[in-house]
Amino acid sequence: MNAPFGRRLPQCPCCRSPLLGWPAETRLRSCNACYRPIIRIPSIRHAGVSHLRSLLDLGYTIYGVLTLVLVATFALSDMSALRFVKLFSVLLFIVGSVLIVEGYLSIRTKVGFSRRKVLRSQAAYWAGVGRFAAGVLALCLMLVGLGI
Ligand SMILES: [Zn+2]
């Protein structure tokens, strides 16, 4: 996932295919092979070096961090259960949206991911179907949570 930009030919952090023709002033683009949105983030430690990250992975990370903060806040404060459910429903929107986009892209490109492995063809297609269904379920749960 750490692909320094500028030292060697940049690779997609998702499927490892080469990213050709990335304009220097552009920070966001999609991979030509898997269509995942990729963002270029400048390194804090090294000047002139950038890291490539999947925007969908950032969505998962944001969801995870916010969920931990919400659960800790609920446990350590006098937050009501109703407020916790409503805030958790908003977080379900984030992960549901990411799952739907990732599922759709896996179905369309037949390039998918499981943990640290790149899936291709039928395995990627069915993984995408599963992610898409999980995303739709998350959005349905969000609607239920907001309707309480
Ligand atoms: Zn890719």
- Between the CA of 118 and the centroid of ligand 1 the distance, in Å, is 10
- Between the CA of 29 and the centroid of ligand 1 the distance, in Å, is 11
- Between the CA of 67 and the centroid of ligand 1 the distance, in Å, is 28
pLDDT at 145: 92
- Between the CA of 57 and the centroid of ligand 1 the distance, in Å, is 13
- Between the CA of 5 and the centroid of ligand 1 the distance, in Å, is 15
- Between the CA of 13 and the centroid of ligand 1 the distance, in Å, is 7
The series of mean pLDDT values per 10 residues for the chain, 148 residues long, is: 59 87 84 91 86 91 96 95 95 96 94 85 93 96 93
Pairwise CA distance, residues 41 & 70, whole Å = 27
pLDDT at 21: 78
C-alpha dihedral sign at 27, 30, 31, 32: negative
- Between the CA of 121 and the centroid of ligand 1 the distance, in Å, is 14
Whether 112 and 123 have beta carbons less than 8 Å apart is answered as yes
pLDDT at 17: 87
DSSP state of 53: E
- Between the CA of 54 and the centroid of ligand 1 the distance, in Å, is 9
pLDDT at 127: 94
pLDDT at 47: 85
- Between the CA of 122 and the centroid of ligand 1 the distance, in Å, is 17
pLDDT at 114: 82
DSSP state of 119: E
Pairwise CA distance, residues 83 & 87, whole Å = 6
pLDDT at 51: 87
